[in-house]
Structure 1
Amino acid sequence: MLGTGTSAMVGLLVVALVVVPVLFGVAARADAKARRLSGSRASDAGVGRSVADVAGPCDRWRQLATRAWLICGGASLVAVVVVGVLICIG
């Protein structure tokens, strides 16, 4: 019979396994957007837009991507640890 601690561990594992693919998608999308904006930074400066006009959104997308990658990695680590603990218990 599963104890309360084991049920909590399984719940934590489920949450971590839901968070990982969602944040992976967010991180990949934000990373691609930041790369696209940084690539267009030079061409937009030549068209008449200043580099500062493009740098703001690029930095925000880069920060979002960094946070999402870190949280995704942390949730992956939590999932691995929980699976290890559940294997040791079971």
Structure 2
Amino acid sequence: MLGTGMGAMVGLLVVALLVVPVSFGVAARADVKARRLSEPRASDENSRRPVAVVEAEADGRCDQWRQLATQAWLICGGASLIAVAVVGVLICFG
């Protein structure tokens, strides 16, 4: 029968295993978006705004996507490490 500590470990494992695929998906999507924004863009001749302004806005969005990707990768890695540690504890003591 599972004790209170064992139940908490199983709960932690379930949460970690749910966080891993979600954060992986967010990280992968943010990486793709950042790469697309960092590619050289063809200038839009119909645009009435200066090219420097458009480029600065794109660079700012690219930086935001990179930060989101970095945070999501760190969360994914941390949750993976927690899941591996909990499984190890459950195997050893469970």
When the two structures are superposed, what TM-score results if normalisation uses the length of structure 1? 0.91
Instruction: Name the residue aligned to 1:68.
Output: 72
Indicate the structure whose relative CO is greater, using CA pairs within 8 Å and at least 6 residues apart.
2
Question: Runs of 4 or more off by more than 3 Å in structure 1?
Answer: none
> 1 CA distance for matches of 2:29 and 2:41?
22
What corresponds to 1:16 in structure 2?
Answer: 16
Residue 53 of structure 1: how far off its partner (Å)? 1.8
Give the structure with the higher percent helix. Answer: 1
Runs of at least 5 residues in structure 1 that lack an aligned partner in the other structure: none
How far, CA to CA, are the matches of 1:49 and 1:5 in structure 2? 60
3-state secondary structure, aligned to 1:12: helix
Alignment coverage as a number of residue pairs = 87
Q: Distance in 2 between matches of 1:63 and 1:49?
A: 24
Q: How large is the Cα RMSD of the aligned pairs?
A: 1.2
CA distance in 1, matches of 2:88, 2:2: 16
The CA deviation at 1:59 is: 0.2
> How many percent of aligned residue pairs carry the same amino acid?
72
Q: How does 1:7-46 map to 2 (within 5 A)?
A: 7-39=7-39, 42-44=40-42, 46=43
Q: Which of structures 1 and 2 has the bigger CA Rg?
A: 2
Structure 2: stretches of 5+ with no match in the other structure: 45-49
Amino acid at match of 1:27: A
CA displacement at 1:49 relative to structure 2: 2.7
